[in-house]
Amino acid sequence: MDKKALEALLNDMSTEEKVMQLVQIPGSEYEASAEITGIERGQVKDNVKKLAGSTLGIWGSKRLKKIQEKYIKEHPHHIPLMFMLDVIHGHKTVLPCPLGQGATFDPDTVRKGAEMQAQEAAADGVHATFSPMADLCRDARWGRIMESTGEDKILNSRMATAMVEGYQGDDLKDRNYIAACVKHYAAYGAAEGGRDYNNTELSEHTLREHYLRAYGEAIKKNPAMVMTSFNSINGIPATGNKFLMKKILREEFGFKGVLISDWGAVGEMINHGFAEDQRDAALKAMMAGVDIDMCSGCYSSSLEDLVNTGAVSVQMLDEAVLRVLNMKNDLGLFEDPYRGIDMDAGPVITGESRALAKEAVAASLVLLENKENTLPLRKEKNAFIGPYANNKKLQSSWAFSGEDENTVTVWEAALEAFDPESIKVSTGCTMLDQDTMTARGKRHVDNWEVENTKFMAEAVKAAEWADTVIMCLGEDFAQSGEATSKVSLKLPAVQLKLLNEIKKTGKRIVTLIFTGRPLELNEVRELSDALMICWLPGTEGGHGVMDVLLGKVSPSGRLPVSFPYTVGQEPLHYDMYPTGRPRPETGPSAFTSSYLDCENGALYPFGYGLSYTLFEFINPTLSAQKMSGSETITAYVTVRNTGAMKGSVTVQLYIRDVTSSRVRPVRELADFKKISLDPGAEEEVGFIINEEMLRFWTAEEKWESEAGKFLVWICNSSRDGQPLEFKLA
Ligand code: NOJ
């Protein structure tokens, strides 16, 4: 439809019809089996159901075709309904959870993964996904850290950008792509105390320099939508926050697409104490520029009256509705309302999608310890022990359209790789302690003690038989994701007990940790000879893990988040500000900024990860020691694979602005490149440093760089390398 026809359509619509384009209702209104992803608020009225412009949580060609047919027939202008879904890290073929994708440090893999997700979801009739989540996360207590790509603005920017590109392709009309939604705008990851939905307090410079960056970068790729966040920022709920939505999002970032609230977030402004009632909440959300109200019912109950009484202008309403109609038009829905809904074919998992997923898994695994080259595994007697050894639940709570039966477990992959006589499997213990609260409610394990006594005895036997034990431990999939904040970052006690029991057998121990968040791994690392983070790896989890265990692929994942010594260090991040009394390198000393009972930094820092081979960073150099605003400097290093195996390494560039009008972090990631090298091979890696990369929110409240000295590290992790120096004139 051309612009004129779209405007003519808008002019012909009644106020009620217009308002309803801005209303999103749960898919459960159309189909009982729909996924409910928020608090239900009772049935919606018939007229709302007939006219609401979009819905979420349903997929599948047959179901959607039926719903769309009925809807279009009954709609006065036959405007198609838009179907949205949380396709977060996979639709049918499930990739590693976003935190695992962050660990790949490989935007190309992430882009290809998003493209595959789009193809699968589009073939199931989905028009838009609520992804990427560009929230910066420094707090492991917040369970949604699993849905982020980590604690760093540059890493998050690259990943969110790659996801938008992958989901949307070049043209949304192409039936292989779907609309992306950058969320949760803004700073949802900074919830106080790591408690989900909680208030955030952020200075403007921290907000702009760190928290807003990835949203801003992703928006440059024209995502169709942005979603508001649940939290308040500095006293104003994001969903009613004009500064965030009007000034920054629309004016500064130039976002032209549809702004959608999170589930119920418009109505929740009443609980926040920011709106009096539904009508007031609808008014405040409209004034802040929220186009679609996801499932709070405030727009459907009050917006028409707000327009009729002049509290919301017709022009404001029309602008919002036009953005929604434009999105439908960009998706080609007016020409083909059944886009992607094909009665015969739905998405299928293919050899190709499995291969992509397996590669992503292998690239996401982070090897933290490998004492005396415990890994790769030898072809001797190996016992796979633990609640993750043969567990199909390798995907997160957000991968609800992926089916468990398609998942390959670690044990299934072992059966393919080893002589069955040389391996054994044992559950070892229950996943959880006797009573545990999860995102899906309280879990009580019946017969807990009896079961665990039996499981552990079997496991000890298997360990005694083996030469090496591969402990498959971790958090349950329902312990990370939405509403899964925790104040303990330890493994369930029963799993730690199992590990201690197995240790007593004296066998070599490789510990695999399946998790959606950083955990406290002090005790685990002491008990293990090798330790590897596997995240929530998805459909091809078993195969990807096995490729690395066997040394078919050398591990190359890097931590996208700091793993703390203790939960007491949270929130924890590598790019902290200096203090006037820095802790001496030699350890804590009186009256310095130190903990009496712990290191300041992480047990395993951001950017850290081992490989089976060795990489030497030879002669890091800067092309010049001085730079004017219009010049650039290149930072070079030659990287040589001095080990015996092919491998990939992420070369990281960090910068510190030494003196400035507002203090700058001790170091900040400025760029990174992942390269692959054969044994003996070397490659020169160069990073261009320009003035733009040195800008920050100055004491004058301007986004500028300041002349002076800068330090540069070209290195292997956020804690590694020797600084070089240059001056900006
Ligand atoms: C609530 C979550 O916060 C958001 O991430 C999700 O996209 C929506 N519900 C829709 O399911």
Interval 704-724: pLDDT, tens: 999 999 999 999 999 999 999
Q: Is the pLDDT of residue 339 over 80?
A: yes
Beta strands in 66-157 (DSSP E): 82-85, 128-129
Which H/E stretch holds residue 724? strand 724-728
Residue 497 CA to residue 193 CA, distance in Å, equals 29
| Cα–ligand 1 centroid distance for 260 (angstroms) | 11
Domain boundaries for CATH 2.60.40.10 within the chain: 615-728
Residue 414 C-alpha from the chain's centroid: 29
- Residue 299 is predicted with a pLDDT of 98
Tell the residue number behind the tokens 């950058």, with chain if given.
Answer: 182
- Residue 123 is predicted with a pLDDT of 94
Residue 87 C-alpha from the chain's centroid: 12
| Nearest CA owner, ligand 1 atom 1 | 263
- Residue 586 is predicted with a pLDDT of 87
| Cα–ligand 1 centroid distance for 39 (angstroms) | 11
Domain boundaries for CATH 3.20.20.300 within the chain: 3-330
Q: At what angle do helices 298-308 and 314-330 cross, to 10 degrees?
A: 130
Higher-confidence residue: 559 or 589? 559
- Residue 503 is predicted with a pLDDT of 98
In 3D space, the residue among 659, 652, 661 whose CA is nearest the CA of residue 698 turns out to be 661
Residue 30 CA to residue 411 CA, distance in Å, equals 40
In 3D space, the residue among 505, 192, 536, 500 whose CA is nearest the CA of residue 357 turns out to be 536
| Cα–ligand 1 centroid distance for 160 (angstroms) | 17
Residues 6+ apart with CB under 8 A from 728: 627, 628, 629, 691, 694, 705, 706, 707, 708, 710
Q: Is the pLDDT of residue 205 over 60?
A: yes
Task: Convert the pLDDT of each residue in 48-60 to its tens digit.
Answer: 999 999 999 999 9
Which H/E stretch holds residue 426? strand 423-426
| Nearest CA owner, ligand 1 atom 4 | 262
Which phi and psi angles does 392 have, rounded to 5°?
A: -80, -15
Residue 625 C-alpha from the chain's centroid: 38
Q: What average pLDDT score do residues 543-570 get?
A: 98
Tell the residue number behind the tokens 């094909």, with chain if given.
Answer: 342
Q: Is the pLDDT of residue 342 over 80?
A: no
Q: Which residues of 19-29 are buried (b: 16+ CB within 10 A; e: fewer)?
A: bbbbbbbbbbb
Q: Which atom of ligand 1 is nearest to the CA of 188?
A: 3
Q: What average pLDDT score do residues 223-240 get?
A: 98
Give DSSP secondary structure letters for 527-552: H-SEEEE--S--TTHHHHHHHHHTTS
Residue 654 CA to residue 7 CA, distance in Å, equals 50
Contact 223, 168 (CB under 8 A): yes
Q: What average pLDDT score do residues 444-469 get?
A: 96
| Cα–ligand 1 centroid distance for 131 (angstroms) | 9
Give percent above pLDDT 70 in the chain. Answer: 100
- Residue 38 is predicted with a pLDDT of 86
- Residue 441 is predicted with a pLDDT of 87
| Cα–ligand 1 centroid distance for 110 (angstroms) | 21
| Cα–ligand 1 centroid distance for 133 (angstroms) | 10
Task: Convert the pLDDT of each residue in 470-485 to its tens digit.
Answer: 999 999 999 999 999 9
| Cα–ligand 1 centroid distance for 593 (angstroms) | 39
Task: Convert the pLDDT of each residue in 281-308 to its tens digit.
Answer: 999 999 999 999 999 999 999 999 999 9
Task: Convert the pLDDT of each residue in 497-512 to its tens digit.
Answer: 999 999 999 999 999 9
Q: Which atom of ligand 1 is nearest to the CA of 131?
A: 7
Pull the structure tokens for residue 297: 């019912």
Residue 211 CA to residue 216 CA, distance in Å, equals 10
Q: Which of 106, 124, 262, 575 is catalytic?
A: 262
Out of 54, 229, 482, 485, mutate this one to test ligand 1's pocket (max ligand atoms within 8 Å of CB): namely 482
Tell the residue number behind the tokens 């919830």, with chain if given.
Answer: 191
Contact 387, 411 (CB under 8 A): no
- Residue 46 is predicted with a pLDDT of 93
CA angle 63, 67, 70 (to 5 degrees): 145
Task: Convert the pLDDT of each residue in 81-117 to its tens digit.
Answer: 999 999 999 999 999 999 999 999 999 999 999 999 9
Residue 338 CA to residue 585 CA, distance in Å, equals 63
Residue 196 CA to residue 190 CA, distance in Å, equals 9
Residue 293 CA to residue 305 CA, distance in Å, equals 16
Out of 28, 259, 262, mutate this one to test ligand 1's pocket (max ligand atoms within 8 Å of CB): namely 262
Q: Which atom of ligand 1 is nearest to the CA of 230?
A: 3
Out of 58, 82, 130, 296, mutate this one to test ligand 1's pocket (max ligand atoms within 8 Å of CB): namely 130
Residue 473 CA to residue 476 CA, distance in Å, equals 9
Tell the residue number behind the tokens 């209303």, with chain if given.
Answer: 23
Task: Convert the pLDDT of each residue in 565-588 to its tens digit.
Answer: 999 999 999 999 999 999 998 888
Residue 59 CA to residue 234 CA, distance in Å, equals 38
Task: Convert the pLDDT of each residue in 121-162 to its tens digit.
Answer: 999 999 999 999 999 999 999 999 999 999 999 999 999 999
| Nearest CA owner, ligand 1 atom 3 | 262
| Cα–ligand 1 centroid distance for 124 (angstroms) | 20
* CATH fold for domain 615-728: Immunoglobulin-like (2.60.40)
Q: Which atom of ligand 1 is nearest to the CA of 183?
A: 5
| Cα–ligand 1 centroid distance for 649 (angstroms) | 35
Task: Convert the pLDDT of each residue in 605-657 to its tens digit.
Answer: 999 999 999 999 999 999 999 999 999 999 999 999 999 999 999 999 999 99
Residue 726 CA to residue 115 CA, distance in Å, equals 40
Give DSSP secondary structure letters for 431-487: SS-SEEEETTEEEE-TTHHHHHHHHHHHHHHHHHH-SEEEEEEE--GGGSSTT---S
Q: Which atom of ligand 1 is nearest to the CA of 184?
A: 5
- Residue 344 is predicted with a pLDDT of 61
Q: Which atom of ligand 1 is nearest to the CA of 229?
A: 3
Contact 211, 186 (CB under 8 A): yes
The dihedral formed by the CA atoms of 49, 52, 53 and 56, expressed in degrees to the nearest 10: -60
Q: For the purposes of burial, counting CB atoms within 10 Å of the CB of 620, is it exposed (0-12), middle (13-18) or buried (19 or more)?
A: buried
* CATH fold for domain 3-330: TIM Barrel (3.20.20)
Task: Convert the pLDDT of each residue in 25-50 to its tens digit.
Answer: 999 999 988 988 888 777 799 999 99
| Cα–ligand 1 centroid distance for 274 (angstroms) | 21
Beta-bridge partner residues of 437: 442
CATH ID of 357-569, from 3.40.50.1700, 3.40.50.720, 3.30.160.270, 1.10.10.10: 3.40.50.1700
- Residue 587 is predicted with a pLDDT of 84
| Cα–ligand 1 centroid distance for 638 (angstroms) | 44
Give percent above pLDDT 90 in the chain. Answer: 95
- Known catalytic membership, residue 433: no
| Nearest CA owner, ligand 1 atom 7 | 130
| Cα–ligand 1 centroid distance for 37 (angstroms) | 6
User: Residue 343 — very low, low, confident or very high, per pLDDT cuts 50/70/90?
Assistant: low
- Ligand 1 neighbours by CB, cut-off 6 Å: 37-38, 56, 86, 130, 183, 262-263, 482
Residue 519 CA to residue 673 CA, distance in Å, equals 27
| Cα–ligand 1 centroid distance for 85 (angstroms) | 9
